Amino acid sequence: MTDVPFVDVTHTLLDSDWPLTLTDYDEIADPRDPVVFHYIRRYSPYDNVSLQAYPPMLVNVAEHDRRVPVWEALKWVARLRRAQTSRSLILLRIDSAAGHRGMTDRLAEVEDAALVYTFIAACLTTRGVSPPGDTRCAVSGESG
């Protein structure tokens, strides 16, 4: 499971118009330097997706996240699904009410925890794969 993952490091840091990019240079580095660019690209999750069997994943993103743009996870999940060689679930959940640190409502926190535990239980009981012939989650991206 990932929560608001910063997965497209290379491309995000190359966009100096993004509000946090310049401050991220202090922590990560400036990819406009070719040596730094190649170093960052070696560990950037988006840039390192390859054809293979990925484990079941639940990727949670927040629509109102000012630190990690929602489209990073959208692109990453789409790339993972295209590269996936097994039927393991790769689910994407977009929380339309939360920000980077999630919800502030206690009930929403309990609901989020329930979703995570449900996903884990489903993976343990079905080995995290779609039933034969059911490609809703693994291909089209429906999440619930």
Place of tokens 């946090």: 20
Architecture field, domain 2-140: 3-Layer(aba) Sandwich (3.40)
Higher local confidence (pLDDT), 75 or 125: 75
Alpha helices in the chain (DSSP H): 9-14, 21-27, 34-43, 70-83, 106-126
Tell me the pLDDT tens digit for each residue of 66-96: 777 888 899 999 999 999 999 888 999 887 7
**pTM above the 0.75 mark?**
yes
Q: For the chain, give every domain's residue range.
A: 2-140
| pLDDT (mean) for 5-16 | 84
pLDDT (0 to 100) of residue 137: 45
d(CA 32, CA 97): 34
